[in-house]
Amino acid sequence: MRAAFYISDGTAITSEVFGHALLSLFPMEFEHITIPFVETVEKAQQVKQQINLTHKRTGEKPFVFHTFVNSEIKEIIDSCDGTIYNFLEHFINPVEQELGIEAKPKAHRTHSIHENSYDYRIDAVNFALANDDGSKVTDYEHADVILVGVSRSGKTPSSLYLALQYGIKAANYPFTDDDMDELKLPNFLKKHKKKLFGLTIDPTRLHEIRDGRMANSKYSSARQCRMEIREVEKLYKKEKIPFINTTKFSVEEISAKILGEMGLQRYKY
């Protein structure tokens, strides 16, 4: 299996994002190795040795994605037995020419703590935890978005991802079996209708998820899952609530669609 290294003198998040995005275009499996905080010559030599040993073991040159700003460490990694991709270096010169100023590379700048965005994200995570699964409905005036849907449709992971990655204050509220006889929006949600975003899911997939949690119960039965999805989608359409079917989407994709649909401001950098 071809190996891919993601290396940086910082978090290596940028290397991972670019590298994974590029390799995802190719229909094959890779061995992924991420090595952050390669900040010394000694550490760089160790990583170089690891890459070279991987080359000998597999017989194929590993892909090496990196974003080093330290020139001495960069030279060590560039001399390894791998195929090198330095994303920052590729784009620096064109951007310098466009802006008319020189870049001033600095380690940790991309993903360091920026006080405002960091505080936004921490506050948003606390908000998401306090307002998970309808546990608290009195703070909805402070929410940026309120995710609604049946149990196990992806509300909690989406809320937490929006909070942690983008500083979005996301509450979520579940529609349960008790609501289904005459499903309608509670008054406390009607007041914040413009903040509502619905999640739905394929009934068969919902049955699989619930069956793993509470097998052989009414809650997990295929019939119950079909009924709940049918009723909740009718509600979304009746109330003109934007919604997404989460069945084939990752939490990253779900969150991106929510951000785009709702026009929410991101607090990431």
Q: Domains in the chain and their CATH numbers?
A: 2-99 (3.40.50), 115-262 (3.40.50)
For 176-234, the pLDDT digits (tens) are 999 999 999 999 999 999 999 999 999 999 999 999 999 999 999 999 999 999 999 99
Look up the pTM and report it. Answer: 0.73
C-alpha dist (Å) from residue 216 to 144, 206, 222: 37, 14, 10
Cβ-based neighbour number of residue 48 at 10 Å: 21
Q: Are strands 63-66 and 2-7 parallel, antiparallel or unpaired?
A: parallel
What are phi and psi for residue 250, nearest 5 degrees? -80, 170
| pLDDT tier at 110, thresholds 50, 70, 90 | low
For 142-155, the pLDDT digits (tens) are 999 999 999 999 99
| pLDDT tier at 108, thresholds 50, 70, 90 | low
Q: Are strands 30-35 and 63-66 parallel, antiparallel or unpaired?
A: unpaired
Q: Tell me how far apart the alpha carbons of residues 111 and 166 are, in angstroms, rounded to a whole number.
A: 13
Mean pLDDT of 117-140: 92
In the chain, the amino acid numbered 77 is I
